[in-house]
Amino acid sequence: MDDTPDDSKLTRTKRLWAEAGKFLTGRQSRPEEDRLPPGQHLVRDWPVLDLGIHPDLPLSTWRLDVVGLVENRLSLNWEQFQALPQTELRTDIHCVTTWSRYDNDWKGVRVRELLDVAHPVEQATHVLLHSYDGYTTNLPLTDFAAPDAMLATHWQGQPLTQAHGGPMRAMVPHLYFWKSAKWLGRIELIGADRAGFWERNGYHMYGDPWREQRYSED
């Protein structure tokens, strides 16, 4: 799960978007005033956006590792992961490419349930998510452990398809959806923020849709 090379056509295009500030509106909006963040439009389907690699992950060999600044390092197979408490949630999702989708029904394991087993140490402040396609993205630990953050296995009552990150993906709905890594394979707890794939290529280190944090502040 090494980092994907940063020289693909898609990466070059999105670097140009970041340099030009594409999609930025400058409008301020808050969740209590408007369900739709600034610069977003609603869709009914669920667009497929990724680096073009859809890893084949048989459940018989799939594993999720939790490493770094934790008391208990974990390496869970599918049966062990499924034995964790299961939760159903409904959330909206917002993509940095301006689409949003309301009322997504998820099933999976709350991130908090997994962290309760791993026990992050006091020095842990951030996570770096590593996907089976080589993708990485970073989040503050407090955001990754938010009440509605989930390691999702189902969407709208059906198992996640391969194109949407199945068999399991991160789901952190209060941030732009590039932070919700597909095909999640390793969760690394770290003591300082570290840029992931898109963050190295011009995207914001945090990614709050309501503050329109699409691109790097540099």
Six-digit token string for 63: 């594993």
pLDDT tens per residue across span 13-69? 555 555 556 555 555 555 555 799 999 999 999 988 777 789 999 999 999 999 999
Edge-to-edge strand order for the sheet containing 184-190? Answer: 74-77, 63-68, 184-190, 126-131, 136-140
pLDDT tens per residue across span 81-113? 999 999 999 999 999 999 999 999 999 999 999
Mean pLDDT of the chain, nearest integer: 89
User: Which has more confidence, 108 or 5?
Assistant: 108
Domains in the chain with CATH codes: 9-22+36-211 (3.90.420.10)
Please give the Cα distance from 119 to 199 (Å, whole number): 27
pTM confidence score: 0.85
Buried-state track 117-154, b at ≥16 Cβ within 10 A, e below 16: ebebeeebebbbbbbbbbbbbbbebebbbbeebbbbbb
Backbone angles phi, psi at 205, to 5 degrees: -70, -25
pLDDT at 33: 55
Q: Residue 3: which pLDDT band, with cuts at 50, 70 and 90?
A: very low
End-to-end CA distance of the chain: 28
DSSP 200: H
User: Which has more confidence, 110 or 9?
Assistant: 110
Residues near 96 by beta carbon (within 8 Å), at least 6 away in sequence: 23, 176, 177, 178, 203, 207, 214
pLDDT at 79: 98
Please give the Cα distance from 36 to 209 (Å, whole number): 9
**DSSP string across 85-133:** PPEEEEEEEE-TTSEEEEEEEEEEEEHHHHHHHH-B-TT--EEEEEETT
pLDDT at 2: 45
pLDDT at 11: 57
Could you give the percent of the chain with pLDDT greater than 90?
Answer: 79
